[in-house]
Amino acid sequence: MSNFDYDLLVIGAGSGGVRAARMAAGFGARVAIAEDRYMGGTCVNVGCVPKKLYVYAAQYGKGFGDAQGFGWDSTQPRFDWSTLRDNKKDEISRLNVIYRNLLKGANAQVIDGRAVIVGPHTVSVGEQQYTAEKILIATGGWPHIPDFPGSEYVVSSNEIFDLDVFPQNLVIVGGGYIAVEFAGIFNGLGAKTTQLYRGPLFLRGFDADIRAHAAQEIAKSGVDLRFDVNVQSITSDGTSLRVRLTDDSELEADAVLYATGRKANLAGLGLENVNIRLSQQGAIEVDEEFCTSEPTIFALGDVTGGIELTPVALAQGMAFARRNFGGLDQQVDYDFIPTAVFCQPTIGTVGFTEEEARARFGDIRLFKSSFRPMKHTLSGSDEKAFMKIIVDAKTDRVVGVHMMGPDAGEILQGIAVAMRAGATKALFDTTIGIHPTTAEELVTMREPWTES
């Protein structure tokens, strides 16, 4: 038994922090976790969970139109923003309680309040000080809004879920997955939606073919996409916002959402009191065991500026607890991590992009397919799905799969398992498909793609 109050004190009750706290307590450690905002962190409160609920809501609007081709007299019903918003709030409140009870059940003490690091083993919360053999920072990220004339009028992804009034005209600024997802949500809910991105094509870091296909399908759905443009200034007349762009054009909006990136949530954390090194991007630098430059202080999740996905933070939390309190030498394997962008239609991706694969493997083979999903032969929609398989020519191993289409996120989860197991293209080709499905296309693309 150490002379400290706790063996582990976690700062931040998000996905990674809660997982680390629960598992460490399960190994017999004396654990406390401090949180000053809400249980469950970004994912539960202003990220994955509410976003997916709003995606479901947006898909109903499209579904009513698609149903007419199948014989349903589906006059477009009225959408009520307050019902969605308030039902979402109730669900999040339920999850907040569940997270608190999970910690309580694991015998981890919850300390409500903002934790400030005082020293290598000491944290203060209000007037109270606590000591711990090890401190774990898991405070996540926070939306970053640049400073420009009128920036005080914009909202971030934290506030957009809970607007008092539904924005009939919405301008979204940003080209990452958060901006793309919200463009699909509000377009699907009936808002006139404009998405601005300063670069030539959004979703930087994704496969080039997926990016191009996404731009085509999202524009087709009704989102006004404008590339190579940015906001110059925003003014308000008290009832609406006037958005002046760098090409000297203007837009009128009820709300402007800035989704231009997130930064490590470190404000007021007390890092000046200890020896913790930050990266050029302002994230906490850690080694493969999540240790900072201060030997007794660790960090994981979005606050370290790595792969900002909830399942990654969960895996890191498990690995940290097992290594430090379970006697297990476990590290997180970052190869072939699947992810999805819940735009409409959905993007699912796992493995290398074409550009990355060429740099890594040299000789590669490509398989591509674009087609109209069976549902839309009667719905009348001209939406098209797209699939791409990337193969290392030397080993025949599938090293990248990218898809945009119905249920892409659900489909790519299973594909990720196969890829982590080392599946070859020959194995894909000899796998019998499930007919009729969109997914079967992944095992029927047998002819390599060549440029015409």
Confirm if 253 and 155 have CB atoms less than 8 A apart.
Answer: no
Query: Residue 127: inside a domain, yes or no?
Result: yes
Q: Are residues 171 and 72 in the same domain?
A: no
Query: Residue 61: inside a domain, yes or no?
Result: yes
- Tokens, residue 380: 């009348």
Confirm if 161 and 143 have CB atoms less than 8 A apart.
Answer: no
Q: Are residues 21 and 117 in the same domain?
A: yes
Residue at which a domain ends, from 295, 325, 355: 325
Taking the CB of residue 98, how many other CB atoms lie within 10 A of it?
13
Query: Residue 449: inside a domain, yes or no?
Result: no
In this structure, what are the phi and psi dihedrals at residue 124, rounded to the nearest 5 degrees?
-110, 140
Spatial distance between the Cα atoms of 175 and 204, rounded to a whole number of angstroms: 8
Q: Are residues 110 and 176 in the same domain?
A: no
Q: Are residues 85 and 100 in the same domain?
A: yes
Spatial distance between the Cα atoms of 56 and 107, rounded to a whole number of angstroms: 36
CA distances from 96 to 13, 42, 93, 251 (A): 10, 12, 5, 38
Query: Residue 331: inside a domain, yes or no?
Result: no
Domain of 305, CATH number, reads 3.50.50.60
- Tokens, residue 362: 């040299």
- Model pLDDT, residue 76: 76
- Model pLDDT, residue 1: 53
Pairing of strands 250-253, 241-245: antiparallel
Confirm if 223 and 137 have CB atoms less than 8 A apart.
Answer: no
Spatial distance between the Cα atoms of 184 and 57, rounded to a whole number of angstroms: 11
Q: Are residues 348 and 368 in the same domain?
A: yes
Q: Are residues 286 and 184 in the same domain?
A: no
Residue at which a domain ends, from 260, 282, 317: 260
Query: Residue 451: inside a domain, yes or no?
Result: no
- Model pLDDT, residue 247: 97
pLDDT in tens, 275-334: 999 999 999 999 999 999 999 999 999 999 999 999 999 999 999 999 999 999 889 999
Domain that holds residue 273: 6-142+263-325
Query: Residue 87: inside a domain, yes or no?
Result: yes
Query: Residue 448: inside a domain, yes or no?
Result: no
Query: Residue 334: inside a domain, yes or no?
Result: no
Q: Are residues 358 and 438 in the same domain?
A: yes
Q: Which residues are catalytic?
A: 435
Spatial distance between the Cα atoms of 437 and 317, rounded to a whole number of angstroms: 37
Query: How is the chain split among helix, strand and coil, in percent rounded to 5?
Result: 35, 25, 40
Q: Are residues 200 and 247 in the same domain?
A: yes
- Tokens, residue 240: 């609406």
Spatial distance between the Cα atoms of 6 and 31, rounded to a whole number of angstroms: 6
Spatial distance between the Cα atoms of 181 and 1, rounded to a whole number of angstroms: 49
For the stretch 327-358, what's the b/e string if a residue is b when 16 or more beta carbons lie within 10 angstroms of its beta carbon?
eeeeebeeebbbbbbbbbbbbbbbbbbbeebe
Spatial distance between the Cα atoms of 108 and 8, rounded to a whole number of angstroms: 10
Q: Are residues 133 and 267 in the same domain?
A: yes
Q: Are residues 267 and 249 in the same domain?
A: no
Beta bridge partners of 128: 125
CA distances from 452 to 142, 209, 391, 449 (A): 46, 16, 20, 9
Q: Are residues 135 and 163 in the same domain?
A: no
- Model pLDDT, residue 74: 76
- Tokens, residue 213: 């296909």
Counted domains in the chain: 3
Where the chain has pLDDT below 50, the residues are none
Q: Are residues 11 and 133 in the same domain?
A: yes
Domain of 401, CATH number, reads 3.30.390.30
